[in-house]
Amino acid sequence: MTNGQQPIFILKEGTTRTSGRTAQSNNIAAAKAVAEAVRSTLGPKGMDKMLVDSMGDVVITNDGATILKEMDIEHPAAKMIIEIAKTQEQHCFDGTTTAVVLAGELLKRSEDLIEQNVHPTVICEGFRLASDKAIELIEDHSIEVDKKTLTEVAKTALTGKSAGAVKEFLSDICVKAVLAVAQEDSDGILVDLDDVKVEKKQGGSIKDSSLVNGIILDKERVHSGMPRSVEGAKIALVNSAIEVKKTEVDAKIQITDPSMLSQFLDEEESYIKGLVETISSSGANVVVCQKGIDDLAQHHMAKAGIFAIRRAKKSDMEGLSKATGGRIVTTLEDLSKDDLGEAAKVDERKIGDSDMVFITGCNQAKAVSVLLRGGTEHVVDEIRRAFDDAIGVVSVAHEDGTVLTGGGSVLAALSRDLRSFAEGVGGREQMAIEAFAGAMEVIPRTLAENAGLDPVNTIIALRKAHSEGKSRYGVNVYDGGVVDMGAGDVYEPTRVVEQAIQSASETAVMILRIDDVISSKGGAPEMGGEFDGMDM
């Protein structure tokens, strides 16, 4: 040891550490890269991405959350940006790209401030003030919802996706489905999207998709001797197997002569017959069973003209209960006519290459089904993603009762309001609030870029319109320039914009506060650690 010059190691060998400005700029660069990856998908003129995984499976989509979920990302800061998309998707169903692009822009602007020696905690405080003020200001721009607005919200969500060509048709299905399952109580309107069952089948065109006031089951009747169609259906929902009960304990039955065997089999048959008679006497002509149905029971049901389905999913049983008004019965002996659900018709139809059962014409159905069709598997998958987004935003708008105009109009208005708010805030936070206000304009600018318009001219035209009090003006991606989004019927739910601003600013603040990254990769890969086998 020479005069205490020996370096002291406090971290395990193989640990990498970046700190200070380097750590911040690395994190910001990673976050900006993620935002850049989805930026070109934003808006009606956004392009799609083709994602190919290690198995060679292909996903073609322009849904921000799907793209980020499919990308194999290793950088920890980039993973934090992906969390924004997940949260946005769970809470609002749409606006994932907006939230991610906004977070990327906030970090880009804050990088300029850090270079001007503004301390990160000051920037964070400014961003918090700006975010709270923006959420407060959004209320001034919100518009009450009616049925027509809900349809326009669905159309806006579908525009720019491959389903955009049939948006009139699909948006109509979305609104009808949401209004059918919406329930009002003292707390307001609640929409449980689990009550909207979506089945997808390739074959036919998107226009062959349909909404059914009832339930579609991807099942077929259990016996070919059963009727294919039953009018005026009385439906028994059974949650127990229609077969001879097995004993709970291991029991052996010893049969010593042939007559005992035939007696034993007769007993079994009469037991099964009894079960089928119980069903018949209750008045049921359709049985949906969550468990198995014995071959013998199938035969007797077919003879009695009962239409039966077995091994239905639990979610389908609950949906049927809500749609038909029937009660799910656990023991067949307790089945009575009061437990039966009702439907105008139950029939088996051939859709594509498989048989499906349609239970339709349910009065006051509180559960409905949508059958989505499309030319190929990839088309149907993308239609499904677009439909999920659209029905999601309709349900959110219906629950909240308010919407905002789209096309970047609200963000441009908030940007203008925040600039004047910044002037009244003293200290260095003012610079951060101005940076936040500037970052808001990234959405209208990106919409313009993706449509092949001049982003500078578009932002100037937008600012001019807003300075004249035209706060509903947004980017016209079809003809260039700016137009009134209210007149163009471009709407999005208030919650989508609120959540995007909150998630983006909170994540940007979290990333900005990091000044030291210590990653201990030493030894982890051999153990199959977190970073093993991941490549960007």
b/e sequence 165-197, b meaning 16+ C-beta within 10 Å: ebbeebbebbbbbbebbbeeeeeeeebebebbb
DSSP letters spanning 208-221: G-EEESSEEES---
pLDDT value of position 522: 47
Nearest to 100 by CA among 536, 504, 529, 534: 504
Confidence of residue 534 (pLDDT cuts 50, 70, 90): very low
The residue type found at 246 is K
Q: What percent of the chain clears pLDDT 90, i.e. is strictly above it?
A: 9
Q: Going from the N-terminus, what domains does the chain have, and what CATH number goes with each?
A: 17-143+405-527 (1.10.560.10), 215-364 (3.50.7.10)
Nearest to 68 by CA among 536, 482, 517: 536
| Backbone φ and ψ of 350, nearest 5° | -90, 115
Tell the burial category of 490 from Cβ atoms under 10 Å away from its Cβ (0-12, 13-18, 19+).
Answer: buried
Which residue's entry shows tokens 């656990």?
330
Confidence of residue 133 (pLDDT cuts 50, 70, 90): very high
Nearest to 173 by CA among 138, 200, 212: 212
Confidence of residue 530 (pLDDT cuts 50, 70, 90): very low
394 has pLDDT over 80 = yes
Distance CA 42, CA 159 (A): 11
Nearest to 477 by CA among 42, 163, 6: 42
Q: What is the 3-state secondary structure (H, E, C) of 106-122?
A: HHHHHHHHHHCCCCHHH
Regarding beta strands 229-238 and 286-289, do their DSSP bridges make them parallel or antiparallel, or are they unpaired? parallel
pLDDT value of position 456: 92
The residue type found at 72 is D
User: What is the rounded average pLDDT of the residues 354-376?
Assistant: 81
Distance CA 193, CA 91 (A): 12
User: What is the rounded average pLDDT of the residues 472-499?
Assistant: 86
267 vs 536 pLDDT, higher one? 267
Q: What percent of the chain clears pLDDT 70, i.e. is strictly above it?
A: 92
For residue 26, give Cα distances in angstroms to 18, 23, 31, 44. Answer: 9, 5, 9, 32
Locate 353 and state its tokens: 């290459």
Distance CA 166, CA 186 (A): 37
Q: For 415-460, how does the pLDDT look when each residue is reduced to its tens digit (9 = 90+)?
A: 998 988 988 887 888 899 999 999 999 999 998 998 888 989 999 9
pLDDT value of position 247: 60
Sign of CA dihedral 223, 227, 230, 235: negative
Q: Spell out the residues 6+ positions from residue 316 whose beta carbon is closer than 8 angstroms to its own.
A: 197, 215, 217, 288
Distance CA 294, CA 77 (A): 56
Q: Which residues are catalytic?
A: 63, 96-97, 389
The residue type found at 241 is A
The CA-to-CA distance between both ends of the chain, in Å, stands at 44
Distance CA 159, CA 156 (A): 5
Which residue's entry shows tokens 């051999």?
526
DSSP state of 311: S
Q: By the 8 A CB rule, do 429 and 126 touch?
A: yes
pLDDT value of position 480: 80
User: 352 in helix, strand or coil?
Assistant: coil
Q: For 196-207, how does the pLDDT look when each residue is reduced to its tens digit (9 = 90+)?
A: 888 888 877 788
Distance CA 71, CA 65 (A): 10
Q: By the 8 A CB rule, do 477 and 447 touch?
A: yes
pLDDT value of position 531: 38
pLDDT value of position 460: 92
What's the mean per-residue pLDDT of the chain? Answer: 82
Nearest to 331 by CA among 458, 253, 273, 245: 245
Q: Spell out the residues 6+ positions from residue 517 whose beta carbon is closer than 8 angstroms to its own.
A: 17, 18, 19, 23, 26, 27, 76
Q: What share of the chain is helix, strand, coil (3-state, %, to 5)?
A: 50, 20, 30
For residue 430, give Cα distances in angstroms to 130, 426, 433. Answer: 9, 6, 5
pLDDT value of position 162: 66
Q: Which of 69-73, 161-165, 254-258, 306-310 has the lowest mean pLDDT?
A: 161-165
Confidence of residue 529 (pLDDT cuts 50, 70, 90): very low
Nearest to 343 by CA among 285, 269, 408, 415: 285
Distance CA 207, CA 117 (A): 58
Confidence of residue 246 (pLDDT cuts 50, 70, 90): low
Nearest to 79 by CA among 111, 33, 121: 33
Nearest to 99 by CA among 63, 123, 72, 128: 63
Beta bridge partners of 60: 50
| Residues belonging to the chain | 536
Locate 396 and state its tokens: 């959110």
Cβ atoms within 10 A of the Cβ of 517, count? 17
| Backbone φ and ψ of 4, nearest 5° | 65, 25
